Amino acid sequence: MKTLTMGVEEEFVLVDRVTRAPVNRAPEVIRGAAGELGGQVQAEFFNAQVEICTGPTGSRDDLRQELLRLRRVVGAVAQDARCAPVACGTPVLPPEEPLTVTDTERYRLMARRFAHLITREDGIPRDDGLVCGCHVHVGTLDRERALALAMHMRPWLPVVQALAGNSPYAHRQDTGYESWRAVEHARWPTVGPTPFLDETQYLAHVARLVKDGTLLDNRMVYWHARPSEHVPTLEVRVADVNAELDTVVLLAILVRGLATTLLPRVDAGEQPPRIPGPALLRAHRLAAEHGMRGIGLDPVDGRERPAVELVDTLLDVARPGLDAAGDTDWTRARWARIRAEGGGASLQRAEFRRHGRYSAVVDALAAATVGD
């Protein structure tokens, strides 16, 4: 079985090193880091965010080393700018200054076109609009195969989402969710499961959405899994960004293992499972709310099952692809540790219980993000 390559994009919030609140210092950080990282460090929608992007690789170890290098470079430059990158789906503390939109033509246009999503009635950007995700790319795939693969993978993406939950707090409040980012991000158009479309239908569908103003352009297709418009990959977009580096690596190799397992079914012309839309949406809602702490929906029969059992099943389903890459033992060992210690959201809540301060949660996330 031929394995696919994988790559990761991570979005971080920049927080002031004293207040721990989000700050608009991304232009300074990106300028400082670009000398070493080039296009691997990029702007995001708000000036309180930065994004890092790995290159494609087939190696788990190479992916981990590159992520660590990118994080540390950004962390070192951010320190000079009196801030720190934090890998968290939503800011733990609210900003103490109004968020500003990144000064590019596209982001300015998005801010005007979708002002109702990101701006309060007084014209100031909403504090709750800042969210940070982790996107996993698998390839090399043309658009037709990427779309077909997304159809086969869609029943399992709620399980990936549950595993990645890392945004229980938002603006000094416990939301009661494992992934509040998923709730906030869902306000944007097209966020949700990939619809059943072939390549011709996809092109026509997206063209209609752009023409009627639902989307600004085809880069605004925010499905949970989508063909990338800038690299020949399938991009899976359901995960919160996580501070624990090995959790990010686990998500990447698990998505790659599942894709590698399912791609032969795509190439054989097998029909993907037709999970009813309402059931799939409910599975994603349960993943956002409960993560691995509660129940999820079985992707095969739709019955409620403990989320940890669904992760076990996902590992079994992805086993052929994991075996082909030599990732099975590492994956099971990492999953066993997360199951025993808790995922990102559980670790954040444990930190708050220990110290009783949201600033301590931010400090722990910042330290883990840069590998301290």
State residue 119's pLDDT score: 73
Res 236: pLDDT: 98
Residue with more model confidence, 81 or 123: 81
What the block records as the tokens of 8 is 């990761």
**Region 281-289: what's the mean pLDDT?**
98
> Which one, of 64, 135, 71, lies nearest residue 327 by Cα?
64
CB 231 within 8 A of CB 151: no
Q: Tell me: pLDDT of 124 over 70.
A: no
Query: Does residue 372 have a pLDDT over 70?
Result: no
What is the pLDDT at residue 20?
98
pLDDT at residue 127, as a whole number = 65
The rounded distance, in Å, linking the Cα atoms of 166 and 320 is 28
Please name the fold of domain 5-100+128-369: Creatine Kinase; Chain A, domain 2 (3.30.590)
- In whole angstroms, what is the distance from residue 156 CA to residue 318 CA? 10
pLDDT, tens digit (0-9, with 9 covering 90-100), for 6-37: 999 999 999 999 999 999 999 999 999 999 99
Q: Is the pLDDT score of 245 beyond 80?
A: yes
Distance CA 47, CA 95 (A): 12
**Separation of alpha carbons 125 and 222, rounded Å:** 21
What pLDDT is recorded for position 300?
Answer: 86
* 128 has pLDDT over 80: no
Which among 136, 332, 102, 317 has a CA at the least distance from the CA of 240?
A: 136
Q: Which pTM does this prediction carry?
A: 0.97
Q: What is the mean pLDDT of residues 201-212?
A: 97
Position 125 scores a pLDDT of 62
As to burial, measured by CB atoms within 10 angstroms (0-12 exposed, 13-18 middle, 19+ buried), residue 367 is: middle
d(CA 127, CA 130): 7
pLDDT of amino acid 116:
86
Structure tokens at 85: 């990158």
Residue with tokens 């092109």: 203
Burial (CB count <10 Å: 0-12, 13-18, 19+), residue 116 = exposed
pLDDT per residue as tens digits for the range 142-185:
999 999 999 999 999 999 999 999 999 999 999 999 999 999 99
pLDDT at 350 over 90: yes
